[in-house]
């Protein structure tokens, strides 16, 4: 079964709320999509904005390995001829060999949105496709709202497809534009289309308003679709488009459609994250196939079974799509989980090892207090290191004081932290100002420690999260602080819990710097050995 993938991330995807790409971003994404072997990349709508015009001008300077760039637009305006229509002119000026235009399939849209007659709509579909074909273009025709149109007036919806085919459209893409169709309706409608047009080459373009875009797209493939349109990560207007990450994974691994090579499929998670990084959007950790949690196991029974045979709780090998298997540490963990995590960190434990039981009991007690280690693996590794008796005390806190002063109603508060620590018998006493009490404490601690551990100059705190824990309402509640740090090479997360936000922040800060020094010494020891 040959199925082509048509990516519309650069056009339909950018219609999502909070998504925007520069021309440079769009070029980088197009090159990435070409690199993994996608067949078609829709660059944008040159008739709608200067940015898309700039993309088509710029992408012409690059040689793509496989992908064909498509320019997108609509049929001509009801009141103009194709030869004088500005939208069609912009498509021609984009200098792509392939153009995709959409037209109305639903009588509601013809009358209420296009404000024309049913007969005129059929004419402009034919005239627009025929005009572009006369200019030497390959034309894909998007039958907008086709499935809704078929529900209301099947005869007219089929008539619009007939006009596009008659005018020379190479492929007709049936669109579930409102995203409200069920797979059974997709199947029934396509059956009728095939009965009326036995030799039709058709594709599917599904939106996700009913959480069925991927299911509807795969249903269409089972019915003979030769092209699937969608976006990477499912980004798009309203609830998004069909997610090509899920579609391509299912096609390649479960339906026998080799739309990507095995090597390129392994790049899928990387491409998914690359696009989200450019969009400055936090990834959905629960996204199938490529999400961080897609192959993550937390329950002790699950972890024990997966350790013996991954098929027990995984539908595919995560490496096939460039993902990883992860085991989480929580109060649901068993000794098998502790053993697995210990092995990840280079410690050899058996399930019967008393250290495993000690760590397990300590984790359960700490999580009962509000700690959470599934998102703070650095804190867990330090805990494991301590239980193994191999922990080193890099510094000792003597005490700290944090002052937050506000001098007038219209001025920002001034935060100052003073800290005393002892390193190897030497007392260090420093102070620092900061943007808030936690930042001041961090600066004071860093100033004290960098004299002894210069490698800490590389450490940056990338993220700081505070969550109020529900056990006690109001301002007296406990808080959990999660800090994410990096040294430019690795990233790690640490956690602290207390009724006092400064104390919880101190716990997480201290763990972060302890972890950096621990990893530095561990790395040095490995090199020397």
Q: Is residue 490 very low, low, confident or very high in pLDDT (cuts 50, 70, 90)?
A: confident
pLDDT in tens, 51-75: 999 999 999 999 999 999 999 999 9
pLDDT at 283: 85
Positive or negative torsion for Cα 280, 281, 287, 293: positive
Q: Is residue 333 very low, low, confident or very high in pLDDT (cuts 50, 70, 90)?
A: low
Q: What pairing do the DSSP bridges indicate for beta strands 479-486 and 460-468?
A: antiparallel
Closest CA to 46 of 67, 60, 61: 60
215-252: burial string, b at 16+ Cβ within 10 Å, e else: bbbbbbbebebbbbbbbbbbbbbeebbbbbbbbbbbbb
Q: Which tops the pLDDT comparison, 398 or 476?
A: 398
Q: How far apart are CA 296 and CA 327, in angstroms?
A: 6
- Which are the contacts of 16, defined by CB distance < 8 A and separation ≥ 6? 235, 236, 237, 240
Q: Is residue 512 very low, low, confident or very high in pLDDT (cuts 50, 70, 90)?
A: very high
Looking at residue 78, what DSSP letter applies?
A: T
Closest CA to 74 of 49, 55, 48, 52: 48
pLDDT surpassing 60 at residue 330:
no
Both ends of the chain: CA-CA distance in Å?
54
What are the percentages of helix, strand and coil residues in the chain, rounded to 5?
A: 45, 20, 35
Beta carbons of 279 and 20 less than 8 angstroms apart: yes
For residue 115 the two structure tokens come to 């404000």
Q: What's the whole-number average pLDDT of the chain?
A: 90
| pLDDT-wise least confident of 16-30, 121-135, 141-155, 358-372 | 358-372
pLDDT, average across residues 21-32:
93
Q: How far apart are CA 502 and CA 420, in angstroms?
A: 16
Beta carbons of 120 and 81 less than 8 angstroms apart: no
What's the CATH fold of domain 4-260?
TIM Barrel (3.20.20)
Q: How far apart are CA 515 and CA 492, in angstroms?
A: 8
Q: How far apart are CA 226 and CA 414, in angstroms?
A: 64
pLDDT in tens, 120-155: 999 999 999 999 999 999 999 999 999 999 999 999
Q: How far apart are CA 180 and CA 216, in angstroms?
A: 10
Q: What is the CATH number of domain 396-528?
A: 3.30.160.270
pLDDT at 342: 60
* Contacts within 8 Å (CB) and 24+ apart, 422-429: 422/395, 422/396, 422/398, 423/394, 423/395, 423/396, 423/449, 423/452, 424/452, 426/452, 427/398, 428/452
Strand, helix or coil for residue 9: coil
Q: Which tops the pLDDT comparison, 105 or 274?
A: 105
Neighbours of 416 (CB within 10 A): 18
Q: Is residue 350 very low, low, confident or very high in pLDDT (cuts 50, 70, 90)?
A: low
* 3-class secondary structure per residue, 117-143: CHHHHHHHHHHHHHHHHHCCCEEEEEE
Q: Is residue 392 very low, low, confident or very high in pLDDT (cuts 50, 70, 90)?
A: confident
409 by Cβ neighbours in 10 Å (0-12 / 13-18 / 19+) ranks as exposed
For residue 410 the two structure tokens come to 């219209």
**Reported pTM:** 0.72
pLDDT at 461: 86
pLDDT, average across residues 375-386:
78
Give the start-to-end residue ranges of the domains of the chain: 4-260, 296-367, 396-528
DSSP 318-360: GGGGT---EE--STT--HHHHHHHHHHTT----TT-HHHHHHH
């Amino acid at each position: 079964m040959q199925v082509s993938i048509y990516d519309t991330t650069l056009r339909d995807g950018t219609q999502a709320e909070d998504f925007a790409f520069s021309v440079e971003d769009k070029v980088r994404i197009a090159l990435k999509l070409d690199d993994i072997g996608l067949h078609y990349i829709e660059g944008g709508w040159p008739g709608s904005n200067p940015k898309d015009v700039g993309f088509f001008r710029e992408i012409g300077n690059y040689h793509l390995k496989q992908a064909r760039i498509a320019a997108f637009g609509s049929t001509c305006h009801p009141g103009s001829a194709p030869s004088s229509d500005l939208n069609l002119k912009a498509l021609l000026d984009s200098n792509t060999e392939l153009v995709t235009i959409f037209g109305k399939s639903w009588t509601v849209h013809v009358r209420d949105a296009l404000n024309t007659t049913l007969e005129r709509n059929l004419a402009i579909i034919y005239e627009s496709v025929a005009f572009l074909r006369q200019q030497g273009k390959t034309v894909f025709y998007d039958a907008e709202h086709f499935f809704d149109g078929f529900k209301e007036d099947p005869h007219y919806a089929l008539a619009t497809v007939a006009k596009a085919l008659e005018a020379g459209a190479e492929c007709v893409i049936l669109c579930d534009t409102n995203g409200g169709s069920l797979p059974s309706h997709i199947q029934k409608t396509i059956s009728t289309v095939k009965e009326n047009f036995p030799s039709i080459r058709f594709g599917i373009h599904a939106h996700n308003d009913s959480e069925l875009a991927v299911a509807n797209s795969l249903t269409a493939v089972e019915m003979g679709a030769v092209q699937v349109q969608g976006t990477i990560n499912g980004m798009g207007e309203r609830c998004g488009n069909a997610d090509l990450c899920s579609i391509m994974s299912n096609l390649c691994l479960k339906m026998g459609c080799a739309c990507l090579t095995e090597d390129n499929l392994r790049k899928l998670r990387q491409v998914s994250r690359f696009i989200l990084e450019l969009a400055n959007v936090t990834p959905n950790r629960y996204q199938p196939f490529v999400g961080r949690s897609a192959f993550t196991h937390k329950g002790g029974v699950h972890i024990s079974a997966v350790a013996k045979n991954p098929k027990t709780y995984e539908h595919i090998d995560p490496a096939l799509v460039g993902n990883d298997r992860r085991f989480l540490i929580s109060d649901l963990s068993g000794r098998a989980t502790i053993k697995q995590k210990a092995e990840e960190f280079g410690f050899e434990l058996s399930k019967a090892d008393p250290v495993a039981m000690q760590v397990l009991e300590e984790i359960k007690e700490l999580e009962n207090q509000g700690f959470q280690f599934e998102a703070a693996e650095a804190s867990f590794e330090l805990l494991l290191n301590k239980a193994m008796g191999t922990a080193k005390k890099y510094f000792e806190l003597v005490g700290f004081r944090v002052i937050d002063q506000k001098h007038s109603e219209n001025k920002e508060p001034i935060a100052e932290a003073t800290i005393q620590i002892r390193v190897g018998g030497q007392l260090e006493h420093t102070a620092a100002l900061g943007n808030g009490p936690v930042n001041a404490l961090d600066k004071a601690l860093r100033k004290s420690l960098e004299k002894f551990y210069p490698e800490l100059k590389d450490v940056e705190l990338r993220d700081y999260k505070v969550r109020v824990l529900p056990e006690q309402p109001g301002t007296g509640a406990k808080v959990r602080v999660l800090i994410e740090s990096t040294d430019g090479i690795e990233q790690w997360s640490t956690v602290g819990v207390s009724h006092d936000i400064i104390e919880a922040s101190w716990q997480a800060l201290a763990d972060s710097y302890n972890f950096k020094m621990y990893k530095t010494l561990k790395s040095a020891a490995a090199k020397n050995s």
